Amino acid sequence: MFSGGRTLEAIEEICDPGGDLDVLEGVDSLLEKSLLRQEEEIAGEPRFVMLETVHEFAREKLQESAEAKVIRGAHTQYFLALAKDAEPELKGPEQLEWLERMEAEHDNLRAALGWALESKEGELALRLAGALWWFWFVRGHYGEGRRWLEQTLVSDRGAVSVRAKALVGAGRLAGEQGEIERATAMLEEGVHLFRDSEDAEGLADALISLSYAMYYGGKFDEVKAISEESLGVCRDAGNRWGVAEALNNLGIVALLQERDLDRSEALFKDGLEVRREVQDKRGIAMSLLNLGIVARKKGDLDRAVAHLQETLILARELADKSLIANISVELGRTELGRGDPERAAVYLREGLSVWAELGDEYGIFEGLWGLAQVAKASEEARRAGRLFGAADRLRESSEIHVMEIEFPEFAEHLEAARSGFEAAGWTQVYEEGRTMTLEEAVSYALA
């Protein structure tokens, strides 16, 4: 019943719950016969894999036996327990080890979800998908995570808090992919359900995710109100991780809506202090990224690069795709400010390629915009015009209205690129960019 490997602990728990067998002897026997082979250890645990031809034969025999339902059910329960154990750990000091463990078990988690859905175990599937959404979010499995969550939400209504968690996960992932209206609807329903169930921890997570959807929608008054509420909820519940998230989001409001660099810097520093306290590596990286943005906007480019280089190391350790892309684009912008378009292009291309893989329209917009500026600085005027056209078309067509916050700066850069052209020449290259599909624009920008 395993998929993609198994640990000795999982074999013992699932295949021998009563402790009647000598599992180690059985595994040794299979290794000697080359029916299993041992792979590299993950988090100190050896993993065992089976040749696919042997695996398929064994799976057919299991399906023919009377044990199939019991064994598959035990497999699913084991991986539900693992996912629930992982949830708090993915936000704490051991998050890197747990991310690697969950990635190693991803095929087993998929198999467990598939069996629960096939077997009409709707609430079981809903619990498992809900427990996995933060893992999917951090590791950039946006599309796959949404598919599982939406399937489970259709399969069973589930208990109130169980359904609410799945709605929050699906909404957060939808928001990351630019479907703001859909994301907001799911997140608001999740908030409503958590309020009804008086689940303070769930409500805090739901409010934090809803504030991100409001941010992407450009609704900064709502972001501020929701973040202030979540800050109060988290302080009352002693949820330090949530306190740091709320402070970070209030810092974003101060930075982008209020244009108060000093206040935003103070809020980001307060959030960073809490994140260091709870040893949340991903959160620390987010805070350092935001402090790098503030430093760039203050004109302190060397300090910005120092913050960003530090956070890029953390993001690469975590293999957090969205963070890597965010930091790369910001480093590209900073290197442009330092007068190094070639170095900027390296960072911007890396960021854009990851954003395109994740389907994040806001990130793609920033990547196209940055590479348009690189083309302008490199005196590639026609290329700059096409890229500005492609970025402007995406800005106008996307549901992600936070782009409008940056429009004055974008329009200033666009006008600077246009000024080197005669009107007819500019119109031609700009319209060529606007008529590109999103895939064509990304491919052109990365070429």
Mean pLDDT is lowest, of 35-44, 49-58, 220-229, 390-399, for 35-44
In a domain, 35, yes or no: yes
Number of residues written out for the chain: 447
Q: How confident is the model at residue 231 (pLDDT cuts 50, 70, 90)?
A: very high
pLDDT(87) > 80: yes
Q: Which of 414, 358, 366 is nearest to 389 (CA)?
A: 414
Q: Which of 68, 86, 120 is the last residue of a domain?
A: 120
- Contact (Cβ atoms closer than 8 angstroms) between residue 301 and residue 339: no
In a domain, 168, yes or no: no
Q: Supply the pLDDT for residue 33.
A: 93
- Tell me the C-alpha distance between 24 and 29, whole Å: 9
Question: CA angle 135-140-143, nearest 5°?
Answer: 100
- Tell me the C-alpha distance between 116 and 332, whole Å: 45
- Contact (Cβ atoms closer than 8 angstroms) between residue 211 and residue 188: no
Q: Which of 101, 120, 139 is the last residue of a domain?
A: 120
Beta strands in 380-445 (DSSP E): none
In a domain, 96, yes or no: yes
Q: Supply the pLDDT for residue 402.
A: 87
Q: How many domains does the chain have?
A: 2
Q: Supply the pLDDT for residue 45.
A: 84
CATH (domain of 370): 1.25.40
Q: Supply the pLDDT for residue 441.
A: 97
Q: Supply the pLDDT for residue 114.
A: 96
Q: How confident is the model at residue 82 (pLDDT cuts 50, 70, 90)?
A: very high
In a domain, 236, yes or no: no
Supply the DSSP string of 379-393, one letter for each residue: T-HHHHHHHHHHHHH
pLDDT(246) > 80: yes
In a domain, 7, yes or no: yes
Over residues 153-172, the mean pLDDT reads 93
Q: What is the mean pLDDT of the chain?
A: 94
In a domain, 336, yes or no: yes
Which residues constitute the domain of residue 25?
1-120
In a domain, 400, yes or no: yes
Q: Residues 273-330: pLDDT tens digits?
A: 999 999 999 999 999 999 999 999 999 999 999 999 999 999 999 999 999 999 999 9
- Tell me the C-alpha distance between 293 and 297, whole Å: 6
- Tell me the C-alpha distance between 377 and 358, whole Å: 28
Q: Which of 77, 96, 120 is the last residue of a domain?
A: 120
Q: Which of 407, 393, 406 is nearest to 293 (CA)?
A: 406
Mean pLDDT is lowest, of 50-54, 170-174, 221-225, for 50-54
- Tell me the C-alpha distance between 255 and 291, whole Å: 10
pLDDT(43) > 80: no
Q: What pTM, to 2 d.p., does this model score?
A: 0.92
Q: Residues 381-423: pLDDT tens digits?
A: 999 999 999 999 999 999 999 888 888 999 999 999 998 788 7
- Contact (Cβ atoms closer than 8 angstroms) between residue 13 and residue 78: yes
Q: Which of 284, 363, 361, 353 is nearest to 330 (CA)?
A: 363
- Tell me the C-alpha distance between 123 and 139, whole Å: 25
In a domain, 175, yes or no: no
Q: Residues 88-134: pLDDT tens digits?
A: 999 999 999 999 999 999 999 999 999 999 999 999 999 999 999 99
